[in-house]
């Protein structure tokens, strides 16, 4: 073999070796792919996804499925270049920079914990939206989320305490409690009326000066709901707020006679607030693929996601625009009966 041929052979081998090594080097990207779907009026692990106690419920059929996005990668488990390249050529997945999912100052565990909290909050909000749709009254309460270590409330107020009053004034919302505390001079005492379990207590807490000089006690609060019956939602290892609309529809379906689906397999997505407003979500393309693979023929789509959804919708999946919970219920009624308007996603 000539020297030139040997040089080319060695160079080619080195290029190939470097290419192989490079293909398995970790890269700061995340692969998003269609995740599992769960029928909110069905079961997971032989348990109902939505269980309602102490209230009459009605049988239903079909599916009202939430859809999810699975991800591969992240700061603690980075994908290699070869995996990223496969994702870039697969139309059913997306490859995005790592920082779009994991902020640089947050760990993967922190993201997972936040997703769990968002899922829990979305279940409560979805229940509130469903009860509003059905005109079933419930109460809003102010609860203690946590106390700040070393502040006066630490050791006096506890997480999950319901704050009924502050200085004898009804605690109608979080702002009322906060403003009443701030109205004090640092060093003065605030009297909280709380419910702890089944016990009613009056707890006096001294104030201290905050960074801006205002009085504070070191308590973080959140608004919570007290429903007239128990609604338990079981979805296993699923996080985030984007299943709110489908939870609400599942609750409405179970609490009303007849079948909201008309026996059809329907999937959808969207955040929801207590008034029933539907908000946009991420990963719409992957969620539609998951919906189609689950057998769904109709996909409830947040209005703000319609344009993107129209560009990526799989064949045979009908997109129905969902602006509000009430609108979604009306659209499903129209699909079932053949009467009325079914709002569609439109380009624009």
> What is the tens place of the pLDDT at every residue in 314-324?
999 999 999 99
- What is the per-residue pLDDT for 94? 80
pLDDT mean over 85-104: 75
Model confidence band, residue 208 (pLDDT cutoffs 50, 70, 90): very high
CA-to-CA dists, residue 277 to 128, 129, 138, 315, angstroms:
12, 9, 18, 28
Cβ contact 73:29 at 8 Å: yes
Cα–Cα distance, 147 to 312 (Å, whole number): 46
Distance CA 269, CA 257 (A): 24
Q: Is the pLDDT of residue 98 over 70?
A: yes
DSSP conformational letter for 239: -
Give the Cα separation of 328 and 319 in Å (integer).
12
Residues 200 and 248 in one domain: no
Q: H-helix or E-strand containing 17?
A: helix 3-23
Dist. CA 100–CA 69, nearest whole Å: 14
- Assign 348 a pLDDT band (cuts: 50, 70, 90): low
Mean of all residue pLDDT scores within the chain: 86
Q: For residues 29-38, give the mean pLDDT.
A: 85
Residue 67 and residue 198 share a domain: no
Is residue 92 situated within a structural domain? yes
The model carries a pTM of 0.79
Residue 19 has a pLDDT of 47
C-alpha neighbours within 13 Å on the C-beta side of residue 210 = 13
Mean pLDDT of 4-31: 55
pLDDT of residue 340: 84
Beta bridge pairs of residue 199: 196
SS3 261: coil
CA distance 322 to 235: 22
Domain final position from 226, 243, 272: 226
User: Does residue 7 surpass a pLDDT of 60?
Assistant: no
Q: Could you report the per-residue pLDDT of 328-345, keeping only the tens digit for each? A: 999 999 999 988 889 999
**Over 60: is that where the pLDDT of 21 sits?**
no
pLDDT at residue 241, rounded to an integer: 80
Is 74 in the same domain as 203?
A: no
**pLDDT confidence of residue 18:** 44
pLDDT band at 113 (very low <50, low <70, confident <90, very high): low
Highest-confidence range of 83-92, 232-241, 319-328, by mean pLDDT?
319-328
* Cα Dmax for the chain: 98
The token pair at 264 is 């059809």
Which residue among 177, 210, 226 closes a domain? 226
Q: Please count the structural domains in the chain.
A: 2
| CA dihedral angle for residue 84, residue 112, residue 265, residue 312, rounded to 10 degrees | -30
Q: What would the pLDDT profile of 244-286 be if each residue is shown by its tens digit?
A: 999 999 999 999 999 999 999 999 999 999 999 999 998 999 9
Q: Which residues pair with 226 in a beta bridge?
A: 139
The DSSP letter of residue 185 is P
Give the pLDDT of residue 82.
Answer: 73
**Positions marked catalytic:** 242, 287
Do 202 and 77 share a structural domain? no
DSSP per-residue string spanning 268-326:
E--EE-TT-BEE--S-HHHHHHHHHHTT-SEEEEEGGGHHHHHHHPPTT-EEEEESBHH
Residues 164 and 290 in one domain: no
239 and 322 housed in the same domain: yes
> In this structure, what token pair is assigned to residue 202?
């009056």
Backbone angles phi, psi at 200, to 5 degrees: -100, 130
Taking the alpha carbons at both ends of the chain, their separation in whole angstroms is 65
Domain range enclosing 168: 139-226
Q: Smallest Cα–Cα separation from 190: which of 214, 223, 160? A: 214
CA distance 80 to 22: 9
Domain assignment present for 65: yes
Question: 């338990």: which residue's tokens?
Answer: 232
Confidence of residue 14 (pLDDT cuts 50, 70, 90): very low
- Comparing CA positions, the residue from 269, 300, 251 lying closest to residue 127 is 251
pLDDT of residue 109: 67
Helices (H), 89-200: 108-133, 174-182
Q: pLDDT (tens digit, 9 = 90+) per residue, 178-198? A: 999 999 999 999 999 999 999
Question: Does 83 score more than 80 pLDDT?
Answer: no
Residue 307 has pLDDT above 70, yes or no: yes
Residues 164 and 298 in one domain: no
Tell me which DSSP letter residue 221 carries: E
- Tell whether the model's pLDDT for residue 140 goes beyond 70: yes
Quickly state the pLDDT bin for 177 (edges 50, 70, 90): very high
Q: Say if 49 falls within a structural domain.
A: yes
């Amino acid at each position: 073999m000539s020297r030139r041929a040997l040089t080319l052979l060695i160079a080619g081998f080195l290029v190939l070796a470097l290419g192989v090594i490079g293909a398995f080097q970790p890269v700061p990207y995340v692969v998003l792919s269609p995740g599992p779907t769960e029928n909110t009026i069905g079961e997971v692990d032989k348990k109902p996804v939505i269980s309602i106690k102490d209230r009459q419920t009605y049988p239903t059929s079909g599916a009202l499925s939430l859809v999810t996005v699975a991800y591969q990668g992240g700061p603690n488990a980075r994908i290699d270049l070869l995996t990223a390249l496969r994702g870039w050529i697969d139309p059913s997945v997306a490859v995005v920079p790592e920082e779009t999912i994991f902020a640089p100052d947050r760990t993967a565990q922190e993201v997972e914990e936040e997703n769990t909290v968002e899922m829990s909050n979305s279940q409560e909000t979805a229940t509130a939206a469903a009860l509003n749709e059905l005109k079933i009254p419930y109460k809003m309460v102010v609860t203690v989320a946590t106390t700040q270590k070393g502040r006066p409330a630490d050791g006096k107020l506890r997480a999950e305490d319901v704050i009924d009053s502050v200085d004898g004034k009804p605690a109608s919302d979080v702002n009322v409690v906060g403003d009443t505390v701030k109205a004090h001079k640092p060093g003065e005492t605030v009297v909280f009326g709380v419910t702890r379990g089944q016990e009613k207590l009056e707890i006096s807490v001294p104030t201290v000066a905050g960074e801006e000089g205002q009085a504070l006690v070191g308590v973080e609060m959140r608004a919570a709901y007290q429903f007239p019956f128990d609604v338990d939602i079981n979805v296993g290892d699923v996080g985030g707020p984007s299943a709110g609309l489908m939870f609400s529809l599942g609750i409405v379906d179970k609490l009303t006679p007849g079948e909201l689906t008309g026996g059809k397999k329907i999937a959808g997505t969207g955040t929801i607030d207590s008034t029933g407003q539907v908000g946009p979500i991420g990963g719409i393309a992957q969620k539609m693929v998951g919906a189609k693979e689950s057998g769904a023929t109709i996909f409830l789509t947040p209005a703000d996601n319609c344009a993107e959804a129209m560009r990526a919708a799989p064949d045979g999946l009908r997109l129905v625009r969902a602006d509000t919970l009430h609108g979604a219920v009306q659209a499903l009624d129209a699909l079932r009966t053949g009467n009325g308007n079914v709002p569609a996603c439109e380009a624009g």
